[in-house]
Amino acid sequence: MTGCKLSAEPPVNGDATLSSEESQSSPQKEKIATLAGGCFWCTEAVFERMEGVGDVISGYIGGEVANPTYEQVCTKTTGHAEAIEIRYDPSKVKFEELLEVFFKTHDPTTLNQQGADKGPQYRSSIFYHDEEQREAAEKYIKKLDDSGEFDRKIVTTLEKATTFYPAEDYHQDFFRKNPNYGYCQAVVVNKVRKFNRNFGDKIKEDLK
């Protein structure tokens, strides 16, 4: 899919934004991770199943245009990545565990591409919120490269988290609300199954 995956419903221009500073105003025990691994329908569906993860929000980050719409991001000219903001409880799940799931459920070796989805909005990137996250991500990527787990070098970029713009309402919880949608059946469900196979011990109890 080189263009927009969904065009039947026009995107809504949302004014609500979450800067990295605003995100940190959440309850103290809650932390934020922002990851981009291709279509946000896929990454959202995976991480919503993970124990220790609270809310998962699909959105756009890393671009130059304020309040971008889905259609604008699809033009590949705004610089944004489709990403998810993960709110998690560090007493139940560590940032490194989020990275483990992230790298196991998408291809971090294809530049600006996940399967048939092509363009900079589908890039593999970790948007770090502090130096601790950046260092952890660098260390994890080096470990994977040194291990030879992937046939090619990892191209996942590390970008400092900037303003995160939540995507239009119809994108939120897309897989859960539209499990029979064509793209979900062809692509998203396989990502969810891969998570279930590899991380059975990390699935939320009510989803087992």
Helix locations, 34-122, DSSP H: 40-47, 70-74, 95-104
- Considering 39, 42, 74, 184, which one is annotated as catalytic? 39
Q: Tell me how far apart the alpha carbons of residues 49 and 45 are, in angstroms, rounded to a whole number.
A: 7
Virtual torsion, Cα 165, 169, 174, 180, nearest 10 deg: -150
Q: Is residue 184 among the annotated active site residues?
A: no
Return all residues near 190 (Cβ < 8 A) that are at least 6 apart: none
Could you tell me which of 168, 196, 199, 173 has the C-alpha nearest to residue 184? 173
Could you tell me which of 38, 47, 68, 53 has the C-alpha nearest to residue 162? 68
SS3 content of the chain, % helix, strand, coil (to 5): 35, 20, 40
Give the residue numbers annotated as catalytic, written as ranges. 39
